[in-house]
Chain A
Amino acid sequence: TQLLEQSPQFLSIQEGENLTVYCNSSSVFSSLQWYRQEPGEGPVLLVTVVTGGEVKKLKRLTFQFGDARKDSSLHITAAQPGDTGLYLCAEVLRYEKLTFGTGTRLTIIP
């Protein structure tokens, strides 16, 4: 099973600041998804990246897939309290099975 490492594990910043979290692998991803999970709920899909070098934007969130498809990043611009949550990356395997990273717990302080 591929190991997906996310960093940082915890991040606490002030509202309005920018931040980047990372997802790294020991081998090449087939495709990668990012999820946000709030307390008491299941993960919610934010984006899927497939092609090396791909960049996708979702409002203030920018997702990048590394050229070699072994890493990905999530950048949030002007963070808001509503961005607080656990951010998970996951590799998509055959039959759409998911291998999740360890997660980054993000807290935005008003």
Chain B
Amino acid sequence: NAGVTQTPKFRILKIGQSMTLQCTQDMNHNYMYWYRQDPGMGLKLIYYSVGAGITDKGEVPNGYNVSRSTTEDFPLRLELAAPSQTSVYFCASRTGRPSRVLQHFGDGTRLSIL
């Protein structure tokens, strides 16, 4: 059982480049989330999805886009990379049904914009 898988684990981008951070889960979870974590800080919600075809903004959505065409995948796209987007990005998922088991986090993508 792989849980939540994020790729790549590390990436360096130049200012103005674009890229897609991949996230996939094999637990058939309806809810998925993207967070970013700046050094020494807590996580901030970028976007979330409550099911295929449904996405909504979180606390810090500017500069990012998402899509949710399948239950399993929730990619995060950076269109014009900026130094302020240097961060560690975490994807998470959980079932939408009432459950004691809450969010499952991936191991993160470490992104540097130079």
Contact B102 A41 (CB under 8 A): no
Nearest chain A CB to B63 CB, angstrom units: 18
| A61-91 contact mask (Cβ, 8 Å, vs B): 1 or 0 | 0000000000000000000000000001010
Among A42, A44, A48, A100, the residue within 8 A (CB) of B42 is A100
What chain A residues lie within 8 Å of B105 (beta carbons)? 42-44
Contact B107 A43 (CB under 8 A): no
What chain A residues lie within 8 Å of B102 (beta carbons)? 33, 45, 48, 92, 96
Which residues on B are within 8 Å of A, measured CB to CB? 4, 31, 33, 35, 40-45, 48, 50, 58-59, 90, 92, 94, 100, 102-103, 105-108
Which residues on A are within 8 Å of B, measured CB to CB? 1, 4, 6, 33, 40-45, 48, 88, 90, 92, 95-103, 105
